Structure 1
Amino acid sequence: MKVLVTGASGYLGGRLCRALLNQGYSVKAFVRRTSDLSSLPPPNFDGSFELAYGDVTEYRSLLDACSGCQVIFHTAALVDLWLPDPSKFISVNVGGLKNVLQAFKEAKTVEKIVYTSSFFALGSTDGYVADENQIHPGKFFCTEYEKSKAVADKIALEAAAEGLPIVLVYPGVIYGAGKVTAGNVVARLIIERFNWRLPGYIGSGNDRYSFSHVDDVVDGQIAAMNKGRLGERYLLTGENASFKQVFDIAAAITKTKKPWLSIPLPLVDAYGWISVLVSRIITGKPPLISPPAVDVFRHQWAYSCERAKAHLDYKPRGLSEGLSEVLAWLKSLKLIKY
């Protein structure tokens, strides 16, 4: 079986490509010509791994890439909490999905789509733990990224209702070794914490997220291809915890001191506005903290993965195990010391 992976050069996509190859699948990695391909193996002569160049926003290149493939893993997404041009979120995250669905209809070989969405598509869970039955209310969005994923989710569910063979998976906050990207926010915050650029906890510690180790998500994606029910949603989430707990676990693992203060969200918000200003005028790079990111911290995002456990044999690891790996990886790269 040959599978097409969109977003193959990304943090999650690269791990997915390698796992699929290790399990004997032929993989076509859909990448842009400007992409960093360091997380991917080189193309080989037997055709089990090949590169297809293009962009999910360019329909013709996507359709050409579908040729000969039986499954599309649509993992391509613009993942960030703030960008100077927010319209890019809709262009990539919504327009890209629309192009994948249209390419499925026009291509003659594709039999199934595994669409990787995000917990943001379901909305916040202030005071409770949500499951796959939650639909984003669509009344308020912390970030333009959240809005784009909620809009795309509605489109994917409509496609499933029309009979398209699509399985939807929703990771939590993805973390793990591999790449320090905007999508690997846990690694980025740990780097800031251990280099004393983030001197304490963010907020009161009442935030709550569902943390997903990247390799667990990959296992869940492949299981969704093999075992997932068409039209079904699966939360590929994990342990629900606050970033205060993440920092405390990291301190325990490294035998270092826990942060000794909590930074009030209004102060973090002010820092976020300054960071955005610096990004616009000086660096041109997305800031680690922005006002939309602070809005995310004001809510809880806790979810249950019981359906994935039952249907996909999904087995998420705990934070202590996952963070031990991340900390050792960051230390090996000399990005942190302990």
Structure 2
Amino acid sequence: MKILLTGATGFLGGKLCAALLADGHSVRALVRPTSDLSSLPRPAAHGGSLDLAYGDVTDARSVLDAAAGCHAIFHAAAAVEPWLPDPSKFISVNVGGLKNVLQAARETKSVEKIVYTSSFFALGPTDGHVADESQVHHEQFFCTEYEKSKLAADHVARRAASEGLPIVMVYPGVIYGPGKVTTGNIVAQMLIERFSGRLPGYMGYGSDKFSFSHVEDVVQGHIAAMHRGRPGERYLLTGENASFMHVFDMAAVITGTKRPSFHIPLLMVDMYGWVSVFFSRITGKLPLVSPPTVQVLRHQWAYSCDKAKVELDYKPRSLREGLEEMIPWLKNLGEIKY
């Protein structure tokens, strides 16, 4: 198949690109002229062919040109930061970009399937319970502008499905694993901060809960969604539900190091976030922790992936298994020491 892939230079997109090539597909990656292409796989090492289409998901014309002759579209491009100095970027990229992809699919007669990468944030917090694909965001509050934009994009995707567009929507959890260390790989960033001593304690008291998804499992879930996903359906590509406190404890066990000995109240983390935002506006470097991050940590985001297990043969690995792979990888890169 000839496949258009957006977001190919990101953490998830780079892995997805490599897997599609390994399966023998021809991949056309939509990349910006300024994109860092270092995470793109080398076609010679894979079975399929890779060509680059320069453009931007916010530019409808470039998306339409890139979709020409393609049989499927994987739309994985997104602005995934918890905070940006210009919040309008979340809408232009996450909502406007999806609209452009869907319009390109409508006009490109060869497109038979669209796999759209949404987010667990589009379903909303699950405080006190474990949710499935039937959950609808309450829309009473939003922790981040990213969350708000992904919900708006979810409405666009579901409306397109109701109009007959062959779109399958997948909802990964907190994606982690070896690969590009970006904001989309927040677990890697947190572990780097933890082992460097810049994050000496737990953030909060362990009341948070997230569904952790290994990147390779999420990639296979995407490919299964192309082959086996039912148009118009939603699939949670999540994993083990745990707190970041549990992640830090497990990392200590795996590395044979001491666990953090104290907790940092979220109020203090919030103050640090505001300071980080202040310096970010001066330096232009996005902060790892910002006030929206703290808002997310005040809630639980626990989900069940049973539907994907049954319909897509999705097989998420345990959090321990994933961390046992990821932590030595970070050490070999020189990012952490233990």
TM-score of the superposition, structure 1-length normalised?
0.98
- Find the aligned partners of 1:217 and 1:42 in 2 and give their Cα distance: 21
Deviations 1:280-336 (A, max 9, x none): 12x211101100100000000000000000000000001111011111111011110
Quote the residue 2:30 is aligned against: 30
| Higher mean displacement: 324-333 or 90-99 | 324-333
- Find the aligned partners of 2:290 and 2:17 in 1 and give their Cα distance: 32
Q: Calculate percent identity across the aligned residue pairs.
A: 71
Alignment of 1:13-52 (within 5 A): 13-42=13-42, 48-52=49-53
Does residue 156 of structure 1 match 2:157? yes
What residue identity is the alignment partner of 1:300? Q
> How far has the Cα of 1:76 moved from its partner?
0.3
The answer to whether the 8 Å contact 1:43/1:51 transfers is no
Alignment of 1:295-334 (within 5 A): 295-334=295-334
The answer to whether the 8 Å contact 2:24/2:48 transfers is no
- Find the aligned partners of 2:157 and 2:260 in 1 and give their Cα distance: 42
- Find the aligned partners of 2:264 and 2:199 in 1 and give their Cα distance: 9
| Higher mean displacement: 90-99 or 48-57 | 48-57
What residue identity is the alignment partner of 1:207? D
Q: Which runs of 4+ in 1 moved over 2 A?
A: 41-44
- Find the aligned partners of 2:162 and 2:215 in 1 and give their Cα distance: 29
> How far has the Cα of 1:144 moved from its partner?
0.2
- Find the aligned partners of 2:154 and 2:137 in 1 and give their Cα distance: 9
The answer to whether the 8 Å contact 2:22/2:48 transfers is no
Quote the residue 1:112 is aligned against: 113
Quote the residue 1:213 is aligned against: 214
The answer to whether the 8 Å contact 2:21/2:43 transfers is no
The answer to whether the 8 Å contact 2:84/2:286 transfers is yes
Does residue 83 of structure 1 match 2:84? yes
Deviations 1:33-75 (A, max 9, x none): 111111113456x972111111000011110000111000000
- Unaligned residue ranges in structure 1 (runs of 5+): none
Does residue 203 of structure 1 match 2:204? yes
- Find the aligned partners of 2:48 and 2:266 in 1 and give their Cα distance: 52
Quote the residue 1:256 is aligned against: 257
Task: Provide the secondary structure at the position in 2 that maps to 1:139.
Answer: coil
Task: Provide the secondary structure at the position in 1 that maps to 2:171.
Answer: strand
Does residue 93 of structure 1 match 2:94? yes
Task: Provide the secondary structure at the position in 2 that maps to 1:183.
Answer: helix
- Find the aligned partners of 1:56 and 1:135 in 2 and give their Cα distance: 27
Quote the residue 1:56 is aligned against: 57
- Find the aligned partners of 2:42 and 2:177 in 1 and give their Cα distance: 23
- Find the aligned partners of 2:42 and 2:254 in 1 and give their Cα distance: 36
- Find the aligned partners of 1:58 and 1:26 in 2 and give their Cα distance: 23
- Find the aligned partners of 1:217 and 1:142 in 2 and give their Cα distance: 24
What residue identity is the alignment partner of 2:334? K
What residue identity is the alignment partner of 2:28? K
Deviations 1:138-160 (A, max 9, x none): 22100000000000001101111
Quote the residue 2:2 is aligned against: 2
- Find the aligned partners of 2:113 and 2:223 in 1 and give their Cα distance: 12
What residue identity is the alignment partner of 2:322? G
The answer to whether the 8 Å contact 2:181/2:188 transfers is yes
Quote the residue 2:124 is aligned against: 123
- Find the aligned partners of 1:261 and 1:80 in 2 and give their Cα distance: 28
Deviations 1:241-266 (A, max 9, x none): 00000000000000000000010000
What residue identity is the alignment partner of 1:16? L
Aligned-pair Cα RMSD in Å = 1.0
What residue identity is the alignment partner of 2:85? P
The answer to whether the 8 Å contact 2:122/2:150 transfers is yes
- Find the aligned partners of 1:31 and 1:13 in 2 and give their Cα distance: 11
Quote the residue 1:186 is aligned against: 187
- Find the aligned partners of 1:59 and 1:229 in 2 and give their Cα distance: 27
> How far has the Cα of 1:178 moved from its partner?
0.7
- Find the aligned partners of 2:152 and 2:231 in 1 and give their Cα distance: 20
Quote the residue 2:11 is aligned against: 11
What residue identity is the alignment partner of 2:62? S
> How far has the Cα of 1:24 moved from its partner?
1.2
- Find the aligned partners of 2:96 and 2:66 in 1 and give their Cα distance: 17
Change (3 A) 1:309 1:47: closer
Q: How many equivalent pairs are there?
A: 336
The answer to whether the 8 Å contact 1:118/1:169 transfers is yes
> How far has the Cα of 1:126 moved from its partner?
0.2
Task: Provide the secondary structure at the position in 1 that maps to 2:51.
Answer: strand
Deviations 1:158-204 (A, max 9, x none): 11111110000000000000111011000000000000000100001
